[in-house]
Structure 1
C-alpha cells in the first residue's frame, strides 16, 4: 500500500517558500542529489494543495517549468482544493476534501509513494494521522520570512525517527518516519 511522504527543500531558518510564495530562492540549490534522484522513481503520484499547484515554480523560465522534480517525474496528480477549475487539466484530479484526496492519491500511487507537496496539505495529513514520512532538503540560506515547513497554532510536538541522511554540496537531506 502507498505511503504518504512530505518532501520539501527548506531554508536553514525553516521556510519552504519566500514571501508571497516566491520559490526563486531555491534555484541555486537545485541540482544532482542522489537521495532525491532515487526517490523520483519511487513516486507514484503527487498530492498537492491548490496554492502549491498554482504557485511559483523554482524552475520558472526553464524547459522544466511546471514539472514535478524539474521534469524528472511525470504521472498522476491530485490537488486538494475548494476551487476546482472549470476547465479540466490532463493528468490532474481535483478533490474537495482531504479523505477523498488521500484515497485518490493512494489508489493512483499503487505500491509507490504519494509525494505530498505543500505545507498546509502536509499539516492536514499529519493532523489526520495519514502522513508516514518526511524528507527535508536543507539549503544553506536564511530567508527570514515566507511559508514555514510546518506551522501549527497548538504547537503539539510530532515525534519523528530519522531513517537516513545525506550530504550533497548544495543541501543536507534528512529523511524521517512519523511516529504514531
Structure 2
C-alpha cells in the first residue's frame, strides 16, 4: 500500500503563498533543491489542484526556467516521469503527458489508488490538500519551513481539523530552511 504525502514549503507563520499567490519567497537554493529531489523521487503520482498544476507544468519544458541548475533539471525529470491527476472544475483539458483531469475530488478513488499503486502519492495545492486532509487520507506531512513570514495569504493547513501526529524526522537544510516530517496517528 502506498503512502499519501503532503509535502510543501511553508512560511514560518504557516502560509503556502502570500496574498497575491506569489511564492517568490520560497525559492530553494541548490542544497534544498537536491533535498526536494530526494524526497520526491519515490512519488509516482501527484494530485494537484488547478493553480498548482498550472504553476508546475513549467517542468515539462525546464529550459525556460531562469537559473536552471542541475538539481532543478533533475527535478524536471522526476516530475515528467510521474503521473499527475489534476482536480479542476474550470479546466477543460490538461496539456502535459501522463496527466488526467478529474472534475471533482473523490475520496474513494484516492483510497483505491493508495491500495493499488506500488509508489507513493503526493498532494499539492492548498484547497485540494484541505479536502484530502479532511477526508483522513494523508499518511505523512512533510513541511519545509522557510525562514520568511508572510503575514497572510493561503494557509498550508486547513482550519478546524484535529489530527494527532508523530514526529518522524527533523533537520536543517539550505539557508535556514527546516524540514519536518510527521506521520498521522489517526
Q: TM-score, normalised by structure 1?
A: 0.81
Over the aligned positions, Cα root-mean-square deviation in angstroms equals 2.9
Q: Partners in 2 of 1:19 and 1:68 — Cα distance?
A: 29
Is 2:146 aligned against 1:146? no
Partner of residue 104, structure 2: 97
Higher helix share: 2
Question: 1:90-169 counterparts in 2 under 5 A?
Answer: 90-99=97-106, 102=110, 106=114, 110-152=117-159, 155-169=160-174
Evaluate the alpha carbon distance shift between residue 92 and residue 49 of structure 1 in structure 2; reply closer, same or farther with a 3 A threshold: same
Equivalent pairs counted in the alignment come to: 173
Query: Residue 136 and residue 92 in structure 1: after superposition, are their counterparts in 2 closer, same or farther (change >3 A)?
Result: same
The residue correspondences of 1:18-37 to structure 2 (distance < 5 A) are: 18-27=18-27, 29-33=28-32, 35-37=35-37
Name the CA shift for 1:69/1:129 in 2 (closer, same or farther; >3 Å). Answer: farther
Q: Is there any run of 5+ residues in structure 2 with no aligned partner, and where?
A: none
- C-alpha separation between the residues in 2 aligned to 1:69 and 1:48? 20
For structure 1, the residue ranges without an aligned partner over 5 or more in a row are none
